[in-house]
Amino acid sequence: MNTTTSAATATRAAAAAAPAAHLAGTPAVPAPAANSVLRVPPASPEAAAAYFGASLAFHADVSDVAAALADARATGEHPGFVVIDSRSTASWDQGHVPGALHLPTALIPEQAARLLDKDVPVVTYCWGPGCNGATRAALALAQLGYQVKEMLGGMEYWIREGFEYRTWEGHETRDADPLTAPVDADDCGC
């Protein structure tokens, strides 16, 4: 028997020996080597819960940030966090989240203490998913002792989801991109 046959036999034997009680009512799953999705098996439910729970502790969704800011404006209360735009002045002028503070990443060490309260969580953003500026800003703030989350999607998704933004000319909005946000609803149901 060659190595490939031995591996395939071992995989089939392990799959046959695995308890199937947790799969009641679900179709049989092919051996993990059968496709690239299952080549590395999923984490245990406990490990997955820890990972995804941690992810939510580090990240905020554009829609959730927008909803919390809108609720705060409607009630006149503080949203419980401060939004920081970590981009350049030219980028800020091009468009930013209304109510955000402008604090470019390079200026965080010298200006954060003057602008921010360490008891109020901070949400950072930059251009979008292809930019790690918000991550660098979040790291700089965390190293200074601030509670911080990164807004996933950044300014790109803020605009693509149809939320109002401010430019040097005033407030603007665009229609929501149907690939990123519901067109005829306030909530995606996520």
* Residue 86 one-letter amino acid: S
Ordered mean pLDDT values, 10 residues apiece, the chain (190 residues): 42 42 53 78 96 96 96 96 97 95 97 98 95 96 98 96 91 83 70
Nearest CA to 137 out of 177, 83, 69, 77 is that of 83
Nearest CA to 92 out of 165, 12, 11, 32 is that of 165
Gap between the Cα atoms of 148 and 137, Å rounded: 9
Please check whether residue 146 is in contact with residue 105, taking contact to mean a CB–CB distance below 8 angstroms: no
Say whether 150 sits in a helix, a strand or coil: strand
What's the pLDDT score for residue 25?
Answer: 57
Residue 134: alpha-carbon gap to chain centroid: 11
What's the pLDDT score for residue 176?
Answer: 83
What's the pLDDT score for residue 17?
Answer: 43
What's the pLDDT score for residue 29?
Answer: 56
